[in-house]
Amino acid sequence: MLWVLLVCLFGFVLSFSISTFLHFGPDFSLLIGSIVAEALLVTTFLVLIARKYTKSEWSDISCFEKLLKSVRAVADELVPRKILHLLTVEANVFKVLFFAFVRKKYVPDGSLSMPYGKEWRLTGYALVVVAAVELIVVDIACSGYLGEGSPARLVALGISVYMLVWIVGYVLASRIMPHYVNDDELVIRCGIAHSVKIRLDDIAGIELKKIELEKRRGLFTSDGYLRVNNGAQVNELTVVLSDGSSVLIDGKDSGTGLSGVSFSADFPKSMQRAIEEKLR
């Protein structure tokens, strides 16, 4: 039903734009069509969010949290999962920058956090420097050859600034969005890209052993274990799951086919002791 509504909305905007084009010309029709399309699309999403909010049964949380859950629920229904994941990654970049600015870690209150990625952090800082230098060089080159007011210079400058922001967020994520454990769950993160949530009740034990990773992907399954690659290509910790247990991978249930999850941390022994303390 929702997809039918969106198709009808697209058809209305298309016909409106064509009629405006025939009467007023291409520039005006494009402007008016874009405004109408954005207004109708935003209105549609607001109506759906309002319906989800009023019909929800979340009574034990604040109004703001209830609104956020309503927005996520509508996004899950309308936006394809891969696109939603990409949007989440982009949002995480700006979350990292915000929490870095206020000098806080993005973890729940009362949780014990543990950073990761010490093997590549220095390389990451070098990439930030390279991106900053590249921004300056591109701007100087474009100003000299194209002129300061050139649209091409502004586009190149915008892309360079965005790349710098993205790289800074990516590098800082290992500290701002660390692994954490509390009384309810263990959350294993892979920068801004992935997170794995495991209920403490589903953990049978935690092992300290080195595993060489054969792939460079952020997440992959091998021999019944989920491997979280934090960039070190070596995982030192393995969470063993109880029979019939599942985990949440980027918010999606993994099913009961996993035997455990392996990952790395800057201080694996400390992380092992912290998890074992919570399991007692």
Give every strand in the sheet of 252-253, ordered side by side. 112-114, 179-181, 185-190, 194-199, 248-249, 252-253
- Return the SS3 of 109: coil
Enter the DSSP assignment of 197. E
Q: Which helix (H) or strand (E) holds 47?
A: helix 26-55
List the Cα angle 176/181/186 in 5-degree steps: 105
List the Cα angle 144/148/151 in 5-degree steps: 110
C-alpha–C-alpha distance, residues 20 and 22, integer Å: 5
Enter the DSSP assignment of 92. H
Enter the DSSP assignment of 200. G
- Return the SS3 of 199: strand
pTM of this prediction? 0.69
CA 146 to chain centroid: 36
- Residue pair 127/193 in contact (Cβ under 8 Å)? The answer is no
pLDDT tens digits, the chain, 280 residues: what are they? Answer: 444 455 555 555 555 555 545 444 444 445 555 556 656 666 777 777 777 777 776 666 677 777 777 777 777 666 666 766 777 788 888 888 888 888 888 888 888 888 888 877 788 888 888 888 888 887 787 777 777 767 777 777 777 888 888 888 888 888 899 999 988 889 998 888 888 999 998 888 888 888 887 777 777 888 888 888 877 777 888 888 888 888 888 878 877 778 888 888 888 888 888 888 888 7
- Provide the terminal-to-terminal Cα distance of the chain, rounded to the nearest Å: 49
Q: Residue 105's closest CA among 175, 33, 159, 15?
A: 175
- Return the SS3 of 261: strand
For position 42, what pLDDT does the model report?
A: 66
For position 187, what pLDDT does the model report?
A: 92
Enter the DSSP assignment of 116. -
Q: How many CB atoms lie within 10 A of CB 94?
A: 13
CA 99 to chain centroid: 15
DSSP states of 206-244? EEEEEEE-S--SSEEEETTEEEE--SSSEEEEEEEEPTT
C-alpha–C-alpha distance, residues 240 and 80, integer Å: 32
For position 219, what pLDDT does the model report?
A: 79
C-alpha–C-alpha distance, residues 195 and 228, integer Å: 9
Residues 6 or more apart in contact with residue 33 via CB below 8 angstroms = 13, 16, 17, 20
C-alpha–C-alpha distance, residues 40 and 43, integer Å: 5
C-alpha–C-alpha distance, residues 6 and 40, integer Å: 10
For position 18, what pLDDT does the model report?
A: 52
Tokens of 48: 């759906």
For position 37, what pLDDT does the model report?
A: 61
